[in-house]
Amino acid sequence: MEATRTSVDELHSRPNSLDDATVEALGELSKAMETIHRVRGHLYSAHQLVGGADLTLDRAVRLLREAGHDEVAERVERELVGRNVLPGRWTFQVVEEFDDGYYAAFQEIERDAREKLAGGRRHIYEAEMKQRRRTHGMPGHEATPQE
């Protein structure tokens, strides 16, 4: 299947011993890793959003007090300001645990699989797909920036 085995450049070329099933499996592993990168980004977004909301509570408490609602202001301040989002954890701790645990393990395992099976090459599946889908010789369909 020669069309499947051609790549856009040497960095993304398939080692001769690598079969279609392995290329596809590594492609799926890479896709899963990309999803985990997105999850990490969402966790950082949640971290920043929760932190911002917590700081906004200071203004809400002040305005409630100015409006004469001391009891409501006191409850917001006592029960919400600085509250853990999970038992014993603020969001920075959640992000750190994710980064140091699941995320680090996922990255290491994905990298190890690429090293063992494809000589460390990344995105072989996608590079071969690009070769199949692009219109050779057509502007905007170049294999590399140098082409």
pLDDT in tens, 32-61: 999 999 999 999 999 999 999 999 999 999
57 burial type by CB count under 10 A (0-12 exposed, 13-18 middle, 19+ buried): middle
Q: Identify the three-state secondary structure at position 52.
A: helix
- Residues 6 or more apart whose CB falls under 8 angstroms from that of 67 comprise none
> In 1-147, where does DSSP find H-type helix?
2-5, 20-66, 70-79, 91-98, 104-118, 124-133
Q: Calculate the CA dihedral of residues 48, 83, 77, 75 and round it to 10 degrees.
A: 130
- Residue 103 maps to a domain: yes
Question: Taking CA 121 as the corner, what is the angle to CA 11 and CA 98, rounded to the nearest 5 degrees?
Answer: 130
Rounded distance between C-alpha atoms, residue 8 and residue 145, angstroms? 10
Instruction: Tell me whether residue 145 is in a domain.
Output: no
Q: Is residue 10 part of a domain?
A: no
Determine, yes or no, domain membership for 71. Answer: yes
pLDDT class of 147 with cuts at 50, 70, 90 = confident
**Is residue 19 domain-resident?**
no
Residue with token string 């393990």:
105
Residue 74 lies in a domain: yes
Average pLDDT over residues 23-30: 96
More confident site: 75 or 143: 75
The answer to whether position 96 is within a domain reads: yes
Question: What is the pTM assigned to this prediction?
Answer: 0.84
Residue 69 sits at φ, ψ, to 5 deg, of: -110, 60
Residue 20 lies in a domain: no
Query: Which domain does 49 fall in, by range?
Result: 38-133
How many structural domains are present in the chain? 1
